[in-house]
Each structure stands twice: as C-alpha cells, then as structure tokens.
Chains A and B, each alone.
Chain A
Amino acid sequence: MTSTVASSATPPATPRFDVPDFGCGVGLRIPHYGHIFAESPEVDFFEIISENFMVAGGRPLRHLDQVLERYPVVQHGVSLGIGATTPLDWEYLAALKKLVRRTKTPWVTDHLCWTRNSHTDLHDLLPLPYTEDALMHVAARVHIVQDYLELPFGIENVSSYLSYAQSEMSEWEFFARVVEEADCGMLLDVNNVYVSSFNHAFEPKDYLDRLPVERVLQYHLAGHTNKGNYILDTHSDHVIDAVWDLYEYACGKTGPISTLVEWDEDIPELDVVLAETEKARVIRQRVQARHAS
C-alpha cells in the first residue's frame, strides 16, 4: 500500500462527544460465531446490526449475550429511516432502546437516508435530495431520536448511485449542516465517500475537508464492487488502497476514532477481516506518531 497522504502538522479536532476510542473492530456476523465462541479471538470491539437483535428471544440474543461477556459492542442500525416522510416508528425505537440497555453501547448510529414510503419498506439506504427542507426535516427527527435514546446518536453518509434534480447543495454541505443543526454525531464511512465520489465525480478530499470532524463518533471501512460506470457498495471485498489513503487523511483530522471494517457479502474467515483491522491500526499509529512529532 502506498500512501499519498500529505503530512499534517495540524492537531486533531477536539471531539464534540465524550465517547471512548475502542480501537479497530469488525462487524459481528453469523459465519464467524464458531470462531468467536470457540477461540475468543483478540478483537477490539464488535459492531452489531441492531435490527438483527431486536427480536423477542431465541439464539440471536443468547449469542449476543455471549459476545457482550467478552467484548465491547456498539450498535449500528439500517432501518430507522431518519429521512423518511412517514412518521417515526415508535415501536421500532422502543425496541432499539431496549437493546441499547442490553448492549450498553456508548453511541448508536444509523444512516442519513430514507428507507420507506407509505406503501413499502424498501430495506435500502436511499439518498435524500440535498435541499433546505430535507435538511430541516432530518435534523428535527434526529433531535427526537437522540433525545429519546438518551445517548449520542450518529448518522452515516451513504453510498449513492443517483443524484436528484432538486438538490440545492453538495452532499458534504448537507451532511455537515444536518449534524450541526441536529447537534448529533457522525459515522464517517470512508468507503462511502469514495464510492459516491466516483459515482458523482467529485474530489473525496474536498468532502472530508468540509465536515465538522469533531463530530465523528466512528469510522466505517469496507470493500466495494466496481461495475464500470458506477461503483456499488457491496462490502464484499478488501478495502482498496485509495480508501485506506482517504482513511489516513481523515484520521489526520480527527485523531484516533473507533474504526470498523465491514464485510457482508462473500464473507471470508474472521482472520481475513481482522487482517484488515490491522491495516487500520497501523494507519492510526502512523497518524498518532505524526501528531506527536
């Protein structure tokens, strides 16, 4: 891996939220359960998909409790639909809060997107139009969710494959203004920045330069699939070098922040995913050394 990251003498931003740096973790996925429970591998933390454990009982919660005995766990959701125009789902939020109490996650995240309309739950992370109206709508709903959950809430930038004719601002301006207006955290998915920069032809470092980085609660890293004229965010491969470079660039601004490697399709052995977290750890250490010197 070659780094094209310029050395930064600027000290990292002072974090807006008082949350721990858990180091470098991986997503908790069923194919790895055997390894995790048999060998208790060294993993800094696990991230769970909240919805997978918002169930009444059975083995999912039994397995979660086993993981909680040994590792820190943070929660990440995919179905809140913070940008949807249907009312907030209070049954969902109550189940989420119940799970928060079980995991004792220090923060909760979901995506800056819409997931449903009045007819259908699309189970997708659909981008929002970057308009003033949408911004205020999302920010108001984030306020409600964060207030209800009683812990820092962060929203993640999504990969997108389309843009809207109605958009009035760039994605990064929209993202930055939503989190400032809502006074919430950010889950900065560096791969998503890269994917969207390819799909929408912008410079990814411009995106990172314009974010209120003191609000970053956590990083996401993942692989993707290049389809030729667009990139699909598949979480099905290794993180590419260009994304590692962006991660180093972002870390230079934030300092060390909990970092998660996602791998959700064609899931390899846990050791392969953990090897990716080691790459992240090396980058974090390099950035810290730069700041210290």
Chain B
Amino acid sequence: MPPERTDGPEAHAEPQPPKQLRALQEDLGQAFAQFESIVGHNDHGPVADRWVSPNRSMSARERADIYREQFWLRHRDALYEDYPALSHYLGDSGFEQFCQDYLRAHPPRSFTLRDLGNDTARFAASYDGFESGRAAAARDLARFELAFVDLFDGAELPHADPEKMATVSPEAWATARVVLHPRLVLFAFAYPVHGYRTAVRGDGPDPERDLRPEANWLAMYRSHDLKVHILPIEQRQYVLLNALRGDVSLLDACEKVAATGSDTDHDQLGETLRKWFHSWARRGWIVDVLTDASG
C-alpha cells in the first residue's frame, strides 16, 4: 500500500485566474443571483449585453435570464422541500416573498443546498415581512423545520456507557452532571407546530392555514436506527433538560423543576424524576454522567 497522502492546498499552487474570466463570473453571477428579469434591468441588462451573444431567436438578455430564472426556481424549490409546513402556513405568495428576502440577506455560500436554510430561523426571528398576525407561528415553524435538516444527516455520536452509569454511587448522583446528547433538540413553542407539520405532510387533506396558539414542548432526537423522532414533553421536563444542558449539577437542575411545579410532594417528584431519567437513557438522550471522581 502506498503511504497515505495528506497533501492539500499547501502542496498545490493554484494558478491566478484570468482577469477577464473572473470579471465575467463576478458580473454574471450577480445578474443571475437576483429576482428581477435581466431583460429590462438597468444594471444587469447591460452586463448581459457585454458578455453574452444573442442568437437567432433570443437576445443576450433573454438568454442570460434563463439562468437567473433557474437560480430562483432551484433555491425556491429547495426551501419548499425543507419547509413544507412554513410554506403551507404562509401560502405561496407569502413564502416566496420570504424566500426572496431570505436569499437576498443570506445568498447561498455552501456547495450543498443542504445548507441553504441554515439561517432561516435567525432570519425569521427578526423578519418583518410576515403577514400581520402570522409572525409568531411562522417563527416557531421555521425553528422546528430547520432542526430536521441537521438531525437527518448529522454525525454519529456516542451513547452513554451503561456500565459507567451503573458505577455512579447514590451519593455521587447529587452533584453529578448529566451530559445530554448534542443532537437532542428541545423546543418551547407557542403554536402546535408538530401536529401542523404532520398534517401538511400527511396523505389527508391539507390543514387550514391558520394556527391557534397552544403552548407545547417538544424533544427532537435521532434514534439508533437513524430515524428522527419528535416527542411531546411536559414543561417540567423541558425545564429540567434545559437546566442539564446548562451544565449545572443534577441536584441543582432538579431543584429548578421542583421550584416550577405545584408538585410539592418531593417523594412523588423523586419517583417522577427516576422514570424520566430511565426513559431518557433508554432513548439515548444521556451520553455521559460526570462525577467528581470522573472529573
């Protein structure tokens, strides 16, 4: 076997690109990556005239505009595919306006369309173009649907070692820190986005576009068989899991839960917590337990 090559850019001096070729790509790339026809465009029309030849049936601008239109259709369709519930909720007109505004703010910079929507949730959070009264639900939907992309093809990560967990002494559990699976995604939503998305993607009739407020909490995770699951959780579970993610001790996290609930029976809470942790470990949400002894 020959030795493994580790060379990369340092081993390969790339030539300087030709200036004219670079100018062509910069000019036309800008003309293609926007949403107004090149044919009558004051800036991009002359760019097309400069670089593109007409043929018997089409002007230079019309020919260039084929690529501009394809740019829009390709990226719009990719966003439709990744955001079925958001697009249904906003309607075609509202969603396509959102897509154009998003793409203007975040032009694609990754080689893969998988990354196209990486900034949608952040963008939606401050986007003021939503139809009146629909912004809050749209923002919930954007956050929810973005999470699917990463969970679908994110890296494999280790699950908890049951033998290690079994060796944690009862005293050590109080100060132990529970490490949650990095791909466990926790949501607090004001709208029932999960049911809405399920209905949109299902075989039945499309749901009404309207969504009524309904506070709910969800955990999204990927199981060993790589399927993505969405599990409704109680608000207290959400509080506890979020606290654990905040790197506090198990005891401190549990006290936060105790402080939020009406459940003042600590014995009952203890039993509840035991069931929760058992369920979470079984689902692979817990990847490690750090005690003073383990560092």
Query: Which A residues fall within an 8 A CB radius of B?
Result: 51, 54-62, 79, 81, 84-85, 87-90, 92-94, 114-124, 126, 128-129, 131, 133-134, 136-137, 140-141, 144, 147-148, 150, 161-167, 199-201, 229-230, 232
Contact = CB atoms under 8 A, between A and B. Distances in A.
Contact of B24 (A92, A120, A164): A164
Given A84-B25, A163-B52, A54 B8 contact: no
Given A116-B29, A119-B33, 19 more contacts: A56-B153, A58-B153, A58-B222, A81-B111, A85-B22, A88-B12, A117-B26, A118-B26, A119-B26, A120-B30, A123-B74, A124-B71, A129-B24, A134-B21, A148-B8, A164-B52, A165-B50, A200-B55, A232-B66
A30 to B, nearest CB: 11
15 contacts: A54-B112, A62-B226, A85-B17, A87-B14, A89-B111, A90-B8, A117-B26, A121-B108, A123-B74, A123-B108, A129-B21, A137-B18, A141-B15, A144-B14, A165-B50
**Shortest Cβ-Cβ A-B pairs, 7 listed:** A117-B29, A85-B17, A56-B155, A133-B18, A58-B153, A79-B111, A55-B153
A57 B226 CA distance: 9
A120 B20 contact: no
Given A58-B154, A122-B32, A164 B17 contact: no
B71 A134 contact: no
Nearest to B5: A150
Interface in B96-128: 107-114
Interface size class of B (residues with CB under 8 A): 35 or more
B67 interface: yes
B58 interface: yes
A140 B156 CA distance: 37
Contacts, number: 161
A285 B170 CA distance: 74
**Most chain B CB within a 10 A radius of its CB, from A120, A167, A201:** A120
